Amino acid sequence: MLQGDPSSEGLFVYRLKMPASYKIPPHLHKASENVTVLSGVFFVGSGEKFDQGAGQELPVGGFVSIPPNHPHFAWAGGQETVVQVHGVGPERSQVREPRRRSEEEVERFDASQPTRRGEMDMAKCDPDEASSRTRC
């Protein structure tokens, strides 16, 4: 823990060190979760089912902001990975049990649609340029 307490009101910042290939199961948070990759490679995916084929790679300097109540999962790449997480507490994670989707829901899904409001916002940042960018 670098600052604050995720279980209490107010800002918090902590770092999470994961061994190679560490998996974080599908879950969601009541508040936004903001993650920056400090070392290694981190993968993040959307949804209630863990699917390594559906994740996005975030290298060192990569950033993701996950909105409240948005089911997601993550995993570390092939080496030890360190991420920094910050947000506003109180923070409570909720592990998601996969929900069975109807055939109609599956047919309506169109992966070619642009990102919609409320979906994860990911940015890859060059650590050398990060200080000069307004959003990284």
**pLDDT by residue (tens digit) across 71-99?**
999 999 999 999 999 999 988 777 765 44
Token pair listed for 61: 């300097």
The number of folded domains in the chain is 1
pLDDT in tens, 121-136: 555 444 444 433 333 3
Is 106 part of any domain?
no
Query: Peptide bond before 90: cis, by omega within 30 degrees of 0?
Result: yes
Q: What is the pLDDT of residues 11-52, one digit of tens each?
A: 999 999 999 999 999 999 999 999 999 999 999 999 999 999
Q: H-type helices in the chain, by residue range?
A: 103-108
What sign does the dihedral 93-44-79-4 (CA atoms) show? negative
- Select from 38, 43, 119, 98 the least CA-distant residue to 74: 43
Question: Would residue 127 count as lying in a domain?
Answer: no
* Domain assignment of residue 59, given as a range: 1-95
CATH of the domain at 78: 2.60.120.10
The answer as to whether 107 is a domain residue is no
Helix, strand, coil shares, percent, the chain, to 5:
10, 40, 50
Q: Using CA atoms, how far apart are residues 4 and 87, in angstroms rounded to an integer?
A: 10
- Specify if 109 maps to a domain: no
Question: Under DSSP, is residue 130 helix (H, G, I), strand (E, B) or coil?
Answer: helix
Q: In this structure, is residue 53 part of a structural domain?
A: yes
Asked if residue 59 belongs to a domain, the reply is yes
Q: Is residue 116 part of a domain?
A: no
Residue 125 lies in a domain: no
